[in-house]
Chains A and B, each alone.
Chain A
Amino acid sequence: MTELYQALAQGLLIGATYGLLALGMGLVYGVSGVVNFSHGDFISLGMFMCLALYSAFAMDPYVSIIITVPLMIAIGALVYIFLIRPMVGHQFLMVVQLTLGLSLVLQNGILMVFGGEPARTPSFVESKLIILGDVVLRVPHIVAFVVSFALAIGLYIMLRSTDFGRSIRAVHQNAHAAALMGINVGRVQVLTFALGIGILALAAALLLPGTPIQPTQGLRYTVITLLVVVLGGMTNFVGIMLGGLIIGIAEAFGTIYLDGPIGLLLPYIIFVAIMLFLPKGLTWSSAR
């Protein structure tokens, strides 16, 4: 029973952050129809920025977001304006290849700067534990869970009741009509992409404490994010957070209960099964 609670708790905690990673991708897909295959490499970039700030100024990852988030937002805006916007509209599948190329550039750019050895960025909460009955929880996971959910709720409120949020939803529902209503669609798309990348900088800091990082990890994060986004029905807010929790729990159960490769495969198996039987993901309400 202890194992069960442990797996559930661990999965829920990490799953919330996966959900946050995926929200960024889902927002971008909803507004500009772009699936960014370099998503995970932007997470890597955020993590290595934290590492660099730690090595240079002994800055805690939780503090360095003051610098990394604005920086990543700027990078996101530039990438969208100069690389992705020229492709949107006329060559939809080309964006896939373009972002795959971008993934190679980011991954190996990081490799050239930081080298291939796994690195760790210490944080003041890194080794702290909280013990609830038989369940042992790591403080960084709890911080990640709380912040992820707070951010998700913040994003939800932003989408519901601010002008910017309403313009995002308008572009998502019908870009043409939104343009006729006087919304600057191009601007909304740039800002959403930048926001999506900015969220990654936060998520990177949340995932970082206690996790060894290396430049080649990006693709695996991309795949996890894709699993979650697709599970969540691509653009459905609640579906994506739910998808994050499912993938997180599947991963925790897989590593705790099953030995070897089968354990690591569990999230993928669950993903393929859900995809085949519920092709629109976990929700149908926002079918696009």
Chain B
Amino acid sequence: MRDEFYKTLASPIWWGALVIAAIMPFVLSSYYVHILTLALVYVALASSWNIVGGMAGQISLAHSLFIGIGSMFSAALLLKLGINMWLGLVISAVISGILGAVIAWIDFRFQLGHLSFVLITLAFAEMGSIVVEGWDFLGGASGLLLPKDTGNFLAFQFGGGHGAFWMMLALAAICVLVNVAILNSPLGYYLRTIRDNEKAAQAIGVNILRYKITAMVISAMLASVVGTAYVRYLTFADPYLLISPVITIEIVLFATVGGLGRAYGPALGALLLVPLGEILRGKLGSTLPGLHYFIYGIVVISVILVTPRGLLPLFERLWARWRGPAVAGKP
């Protein structure tokens, strides 16, 4: 059952890619390391979202809540109550998990269906941003400024540029691995059954509530942990970035561009689009603010119209064609 997962763990390509990625900070300038770090943040976020949005087919727009709890709440705990950020990370992850379970339960209990689920989660996300902007404990509209990163590992500090990059690389790798693991486990099959036909899944005895909650809790906790690491990297907890529904929309679009429900799809989408967007923003951000979002929008619309399943399946088809029919014919 889990052969694929262990094969991935033992795969030299996987570890090779990871090692090559890990030596990047010694090769690239700090500007490009920064861009890669951001890309890894979104790889991790899009992959964690994929568990609910891709595999279970539930377009959750509530993930800004989990990212927001992981970032704003753990920052507030540190600044207002002096709670160590490692502990803050755990507390935030637990709260996010509980909130995720509640949302999944509401979805199940009230039989929302896919479309209503999108609407309700968007309403929840909007409520979250209103609460944070109006609540001084979480920084209000002006945000929270974390103490300078001095590299004290025990205080959840990684020493700026390089350390933060490795931290994000580890988190992104974990999120992608979790995707691989779930896709090849019974949970992954159940989730895909729920996505493709919820009534049929119920009829053959799939415990829908249990698997929906499991998927949502895993996804929410991962997103929260990534949120904590992200805010530590940013140093400034900006509510308009971290708990705005726009961050979820970005993640959804990255995952869609890469390939929904595939283990590496969301990672591919984020790795392609984030550097593109950041470089555009760096070059033209002062003259044309918003250009990178504009490009994201154009890219996602084009990808959906040309290859609705995302770029990963498209690349696979092209690869198979290039390798010749012998491989293409493989099941």
Chain A positions within 8 Å of B, measured between CB atoms, are: 35, 83, 86-87, 90-94, 96-98, 100-109, 111-112, 115-116, 215, 219-220, 223, 226-227, 230, 260-261, 264-265, 268-269, 271-272, 275-276, 279
Select from chain B the residue with minimum beta-carbon distance to A264: B130
Give the contacting residue for A97; candidates B59, B110, B133, B134; CB below 8 A. Answer: B59
The smallest C-beta distance from B139 to any residue of chain A, in angstroms, reads: 13
Judge whether B252 is part of the interface by a CB distance below 8 angstroms.
Answer: yes
* Complex interface: chain A residues within 8 A of B241 (CB): none
Check if B300 sits within 8 Å of A261, measured CB to CB: no
B304 close to A (CB within 8 Å): yes
**Minimum distance in angstroms from B51 CB to a CB of chain A:** 16
20 A-B interface contacts by CB (under 8 A): A94-B256, A97-B252, A97-B256, A98-B300, A98-B304, A98-B305, A101-B296, A101-B300, A101-B301, A103-B249, A103-B297, A105-B297, A107-B290, A111-B289, A268-B123, A272-B124, A275-B120, A276-B106, A279-B112, A279-B116
Per-position 1/0 for B78-122, Cβ under 8 A of A: 000000000000000000000000000010001110111011101
Q: Is the CB of A83 within 8 A of B301?
A: yes
Min CB gap A56→B, angstroms: 21
Q: Which B residues, 291 to 307, have Cβ-Cβ distances below 8 Å to chain A?
A: 291, 293-294, 296-301, 304-305
Q: How far is the CA of A265 from the CA of B130 in the complex (A)?
A: 7
Distance in Å from the Cβ of B178 to the closest Cβ of chain A? 23
B286 shortest CB reach to chain A, Å: 12
- Interface residues of chain B: helix, strand, loop or mixed (majority): helix
Structural contact, A108 and B297, CB atoms closer than 8 A: yes
Nearest chain B CB to A44's CB is how many angstroms away?
Answer: 13
Partner of B127, one of A219, A230, A265: A265
- Distance in angstroms from A277 CB to nearest chain B CB is 9
Q: Which residues of B contact A265 (CB under 8 A)?
A: 127, 130-131
Known A227-B123, A261-B131, A265-B131: A107·B304 in contact at CB below 8 Å? no
B115 touches A276 (CB 8 A): no
- Nearest chain B CB to A48's CB is how many angstroms away? 13
Asked whether A102 lies within 8 Å of B131 as measured between CB atoms, the reply is no
Q: Is the CB of A102 within 8 A of B297?
A: yes
- Cβ contacts under 8 Å, B111 to chain A: 279
In the assembled complex, the Cα of A193 lies from the Cα of B298 at a distance in Å of: 21
Give chain B residues whose Cβ lies under 8 Å from the Cβ of A116: 289-290
Q: Which residues of B contact A83 (CB under 8 A)?
A: 301, 305
Q: Which residues of A contact B252 (CB under 8 A)?
A: 97, 100
Q: Is the CB of B123 within 8 A of A223?
A: yes
**Is B246 interfacial (CB 8 A cutoff)?**
yes
* B245 part of interface (Cβ distance < 8 Å): yes
Q: Is the CB of A271 within 8 A of B130?
A: no
Return chain A residues, CB-CB under 8 Å to B290.
107-109, 111-112, 116, 215
- The 10 A-B pairs with the shortest beta carbon distances in the complex, nearest first, are A261-B134, A108-B290, A105-B297, A104-B297, A101-B300, A111-B290, A108-B294, A108-B293, A101-B297, A97-B256
What are the residues of chain A within 8 A of B298 when measuring CB–CB? 101, 105
Which chain A residues lie closer than 8 Å to B305 at the CB level?
83, 86-87, 98
Whole-angstrom distance between the Cβ of A235 and the nearest chain B Cβ: 13
Does B308 sit at the interface, judged by CB under 8 A?
Answer: yes
Evaluate whether A100 and B123 lie within 8 angstroms (CB atoms) in the complex, with A87-B308, A105-B301 already known.
no
If the complex has contacts A108-B290, A109-B294, A268-B127, are A102 and B308 also in contact, measured as CB distance less than 8 A? no
A100 to B304, CA, bound (A): 12
Please, which residue of chain A has its CB at the minimum distance from the CB of B301?
A101
A264 to B134 CA separation, bound complex (whole angstroms): 9
Contact (Cβ within 8 A) A93 B59 = yes
Task: Evaluate contact between A105 and B253: CB separation under 8 angstroms.
Answer: no
A103-B249, A261-B134 known; A112 vs B301 contact (CB < 8 Å)? no
**Which chain B residue lies CB-closest to A277?**
B110
For residue B261, give the distance in angstroms from its CB to the closest CB of chain A: 11
Q: Out of A104, A227, A269, name the residue touching B249 (CB < 8 Å).
A: A104
Given contacts A100-B249, A261-B131, contact A112 B119 (CB under 8 A): no
